[in-house]
Amino acid sequence: MPMYLRPFLLIQGLAFLTIQIWSYFRLRAFGFEFMSKLETLATSGYIPIPLPSEVSDYLQMSSLLKAGIFFTFTLGFTFGVVAFAGSLCLSRFRLPNPIRLGWTVLVSALFSLLLGFSPIEFLLFVAFFGVAIVAVKMPDPSFHKVALFVLVPLVMVFLLFRQEGFLGVRDDLLQNSLGRKVVSFYYRYSPISAELITPPRERTQVSIWTETPLKQSEKSWLLKKGIYVVSTRDAADFDLSSELSGPEILKAVEKRTGWENTQRLRITILYSILIASPLAVLLFALFAVDRLLAISKYSRIILIVCVASLSALLIYNLFSKNASKSGEGFPTENAEEIRKWVISENKTRNLKLRETFIAHLGSTNPAVRLWAATALAHLPSKENVEILATVARQDPVTIVRCKAIFALSFQGDRKVVPFLESRLKGKEDWYVKHYLLRALRRFGWSG
């Protein structure tokens, strides 16, 4: 391997190991919070408003995989670049080790400020930057090698972060504080806290048990977070008297959501551990390009053609419009495709499309049912009334019922007014009644 790549390889290797150690602690803590959020979103029926595209992924436990890719690649690459640049600059100026160590602490403190590290995590990254910046002696690479170091990552980042890219990571996650957005999405992110729209008396909670008696103040604080303490081990979702481990989390998932979702979570955690492969691809690409330039005098032409072809492919993917944006070719059980149709300006309207949305109202995924009901507001028909009324009356998810009521108000059939009035007088949640009032006022109701 070329001499100039060896320090970078070492730095990226250290970044990979450091990120995986951090991910282990984050994942273990995230498991408990994820279960409580899943419980609140899926079981209680209160899905946050407005409904982001990621909610359906949360309900299917696949969002953690996307976040793991985003988290590990972004931070791993960032740490590698910072350490690479730091070791290069410090080697050029030949600064003494105390100044190098001071620089290490400063960089670690900066990341701590941006990402909200705990003291243990701060020490972990002090160790990483200390090894990377102090121990690595950078040679003086030529300009074209530094350019190669920058070129490949830029191409990969363009592919990774483009609008609604293949990972589903939206550009708005990269605005303002990148570090805060990354950690928020990976560790603390829930689209909008369900507590904002869920009355406390109806909030579904997660149960825990511990051998050590808790103070009443601690129980009250946990209860505000949607967690209550039970008196027996068997009745609890989690046993906190011992260390909260992966098997316990998976057992709780299986108890709440079934074996299939347990397997999904197992695969998710496995992928989050092995997801730093883009770093290996980057190193391989740098090495291959370097060898290509050394082999043949025509290699520069080949390299230019390859980069131009890849750039053209990325640009084509960026600006191409697939059929789903015009309202055709909806994949089964895909809430994101229906959402794109709803928010698009030029909608395709036909009978087949309306039948597709009606069929999606029977989906087991609440997000699919929600967007299907919303879509029917844009395809008014008297035939929709009975179906939407059934959804508004029987769907177990509150926000789906709300969207069905919303769609009913656009069907142009005043026969739904008595139905809406009867639901308004019934024992509905306050948020459902808010939608009922809006729908009735759309028909000119002033009662």
Question: What is the C-alpha to C-alpha distance for residues 36 and 206, in angstroms, rounded to an integer?
Answer: 6
Lowest average pLDDT, out of 3-12, 143-152, 278-287, 314-323, goes to 143-152
- Do 70 and 137 have their domain in common? yes
pLDDT digits (tens, 9 = 90+) for 71-89: 555 555 566 566 666 666 6
What confidence tier does 188 reach under pLDDT thresholds 50, 70, 90?
very low
pLDDT at 17 over 80: no
The phi and psi torsions of 290 (rounded to 5 degrees) equal -60, -45
Describe the strand order of the beta sheet including 227-229 as a list of residue ranges.
227-229, 206-209, 238-239
Structural domain contains residue 266: no
Do the domain assignments include residue 262?
no
Q: Crossing angle for the helix pair 383-394 and 416-425, nearest 10 degrees?
A: 10
Residues 59 and 153 in one domain: yes
| Token pair recorded at residue 111 | 């990341």
Q: Report the pLDDT averaged over residues 244-273.
A: 49
Residue 417 has pLDDT above 80, yes or no: yes
Residues 155 and 239 in one domain: no
pLDDT tens readout for residues 159-182: 443 333 333 333 333 333 333 333
> Is there a single domain that holds both residue 157 and residue 222?
no
Question: What digits encode the pLDDT tens for the residues 99-156?
Answer: 777 777 777 777 666 555 566 667 766 776 666 665 555 444 444 444 444 444 444 4
| Residues 188, 199 within the same domain | no
> Are 181 and 330 in the same domain?
no
* Same domain as 296, residue 218: no
- Residues 88 and 182 grouped into a single domain: yes
Are 64 and 103 within one domain?
yes
Cβ atoms within 10 Å of 25's Cβ, excluding its own: 13
Q: What confidence score (pLDDT) does residue 351 get?
A: 76
Q: Whole domain around residue 310: which residue ranges?
A: 5-192+274-314
pTM: 0.33
Say what percent of the chain tops pLDDT 70.
29
Specify the range with the lowest mean pLDDT, choosing from 9-23, 134-148, 158-172, 425-439: 158-172
Interacting residues of 102 by C-beta distance below 8 A, sequence separation 6+ = none
Q: Please tell me the predicted confidence (pLDDT) of residue 329.
A: 40
Do 371 and 50 contact (CB within 8 A), yes or no?
no
Q: Is the residue at 388 inside a domain? A: yes
Give the end of a domain, one of 212, 232, 257.
Answer: 257
Which residues fall within 8 angstroms of residue 192, CB to CB, at 6 or more apart? 48, 49, 50
Query: Which amino acid is it at 302?
Result: I
Q: Give residue 56's pLDDT.
A: 37
Quote the CA–CA distance of 199 and 387 in Å, as a whole number. 28
Per residue in 337-358, pLDDT (tens digit) is 777 777 776 676 777 788 888 8
User: Is pLDDT at 325 greater than 50 in this prediction?
Assistant: no
Name the CA dihedral angle for 223, 62, 48, 258, rounded to a multiple of 10 degrees.
-60
**Phi, psi torsion values for 207, nearest 5 degrees:** -100, 145
Assess whether 212 and 148 both reside in one domain.
Answer: no
Do the domain assignments include residue 147? yes
- How far apart CA 139 and CA 6 sit, in angstroms, is 10
Backbone phi, psi, residue 166, to 5°: -65, -15
The total domain count for the chain is 3
Between these two residues, 265 and 204, which has the higher pLDDT value? Answer: 265
Is the residue at 319 inside a domain? no
**Least confident residue range of 63-72, 131-140, 307-316, 372-381:** 63-72
Over residues 320-339, mean pLDDT? 51
- Burial of 240 per CB tally in 10 Å (0-12, 13-18, 19+): middle
Confidence class for position 40, pLDDT limits 50, 70, 90: very low
Identify whether 268 is part of a domain.
Answer: no
Residues 71 and 33 in one domain: yes
Residues 88 and 163 in one domain: yes
The reported pLDDT for the residue numbered 19 is 59
- Name the residue among 271, 310, 308, 311 with its Cα closest to residue 73: 271
Share the mean pLDDT of the chain.
60
